[in-house]
Structure 1
Amino acid sequence: MFWRHSNSTFDCWMLEMLFFSWLRERGATLVNKNAEVVDVWGPCSHVQVGDGVPTYLPDEAIWIKPRLWGQGSYDAIMVSKGEHCVRLVQVTSAKDHDFKVDYCYDWMKEGT
């Protein structure tokens, strides 16, 4: 990353902001370890900040940036009513990252 600082929290925050900026402007291309394209997300004009499940969902996909930090499982949530799909995404540059399925389950349960 071109902005690497001694503050890892700041670096993570910057990477998340870059991720959401890319989603809005040009989308994100997912590649596997062999640099083969796996999926393409966006671009998406609907990005909102919040911790709960939105009360209104448009037919096109929206992305949610949680306000809370430290869930240990997701940094971004994509909800596509039209595709009947929810993606909970970790945005990280770390070699490993905690995954706590309880946080994902709690968020999904809130929407049912």
Structure 2
Amino acid sequence: MNAQKIQQKIDSLHYWDAWVLKLSCDHFADEVTLEYEDSDGNVTYKFSGCFRTLFEHSVGYEKEVPVKNLTRAQMPYFLHDVEVGEVESGSQKFYSCKITMPPMGLEIWCKDIEVKR
């Protein structure tokens, strides 16, 4: 699948302002999973074969309580923008995905992106 088709699938699931329920990074950053709430069932993005995983939390966001102690209703993460593209590094090609979910942003370069409800 190419980046444009992945982007179309992501956009068709109307992620804008969706409540992010889970973000995990596993297997030494080889896999990243993001799950958000949708009225028709939760949606999961699974990034695999990752080579670049940048998680940037706004320094201006006051973490008065550790995120692990927040209730679901207190979680501040909502999806704003998801942009899928393609990048080359040397002779390798990757999908690139930039996700804005204030107060956090992500940039991931990976070999595969799976989107499922």
Question: When the two structures are superposed, what TM-score results if normalisation uses the length of structure 1?
Answer: 0.26
Q: Which has the higher contact order (CA 8 A, sep 6+)?
A: 2
Question: When the two structures are superposed, what TM-score results if normalisation uses the length of structure 2?
Answer: 0.26
- Structure with the larger strand share: 2
- Structure with the larger helix share: 1
